[in-house]
């Protein structure tokens, strides 16, 4: 479990299906830049939730819960792609929760956790080039543009331009030290 000012990142539970469906999985707008398609109904959400619960047992993957309401509002995860190098496996929140700084809280929670407790040396995030808020969020957390790839989404077989951003443990340490120095000045 990870915790931020407004959020709790924790493993999914079966009783979350209604919240995650109504706050996240049923919206085409939410799925637009993701690799998954929206759920058509609650039954489909229950089936997806069963798969997610199994996946989360062995992966660094969480549901995002809003502290104030205790409702599941999104998902977030990281995958170790090589020793001490992690890549996001998606950070997403429902349309009603966008613009509140939640994405930044989620990514910063992962950066803190991975660099401080998992000895990560580098963290990589990516996003569809058209997902400008995601790119800005990654940059605001200290990640820097690294490269671009042309990829294909399996859900609709459409190609898209994917920009990759990254931060090293050293850059993270300097960034945190600078923030600390600014607070002390």
The CATH class for the domain spanning 2-184 reads alpha beta
pLDDT above 60 for 64 = yes
Q: What residues does each domain of the chain span? A: 2-184
- As a whole number of angstroms, the distance between CA 14 and CA 54 comes to 11
- Using only C-alpha atoms, what is the Rg of the chain? 16
pLDDT reported for residue 183: 57
pLDDT reported for residue 175: 86
What would the two tokens of residue 151 be?
């990829």
pTM strictly above 0.75: yes
**Is the alpha carbon torsion for 90, 95, 99, 100 positive or negative?**
negative
Q: What is the mean pLDDT of residues 71-91?
A: 96
Burial of 95 (0-12, 13-18, 19+ CB in 10 A): middle
pLDDT reported for residue 182: 58
pLDDT above 90 for 53 = yes
pLDDT digits (tens, 9 = 90+) for 119-177: 999 999 999 999 999 999 999 999 999 999 999 988 889 999 999 999 999 999 988 88
pLDDT above 90 for 29 = no
**pLDDT over 70 for what percent of the chain?**
97
């Amino acid at each position: 479990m990870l915790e931020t000012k407004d959020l709790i990142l924790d493993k999914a539970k079966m009783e979350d299906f209604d919240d995650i469906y109504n706050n996240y999985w049923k919206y085409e707008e939410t799925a637009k830049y993701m690799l998954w398609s929206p759920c058509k109904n609650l039954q489909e959400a229950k089936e997806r939730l069963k798969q997610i619960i199994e996946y989360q047992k062995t992966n660094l993957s969480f549901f995002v819960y809003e502290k104030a309401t205790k409702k599941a509002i999104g998902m977030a995860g990281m995958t170790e792609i090589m020793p001490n190098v992690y890549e996001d496996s998606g950070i997403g929140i429902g349309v009603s929760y966008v613009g509140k700084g939640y994405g930044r809280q989620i990514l910063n929670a992962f950066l803190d956790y991975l660099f401080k407790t998992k000895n990560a040396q580098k963290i990589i995030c990516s996003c569809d080039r058209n997902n400008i808020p995601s790119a800005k969020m990654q940059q605001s957390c200290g990640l820097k543009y690294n490269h671009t790839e042309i990829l294909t989404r399996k859900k609709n077989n459409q190609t898209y331009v994917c920009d990759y951003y990254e931060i090293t443990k050293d850059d993270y340490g300097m960034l945190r030290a600078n923030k600390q120095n600014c607070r002390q000045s």
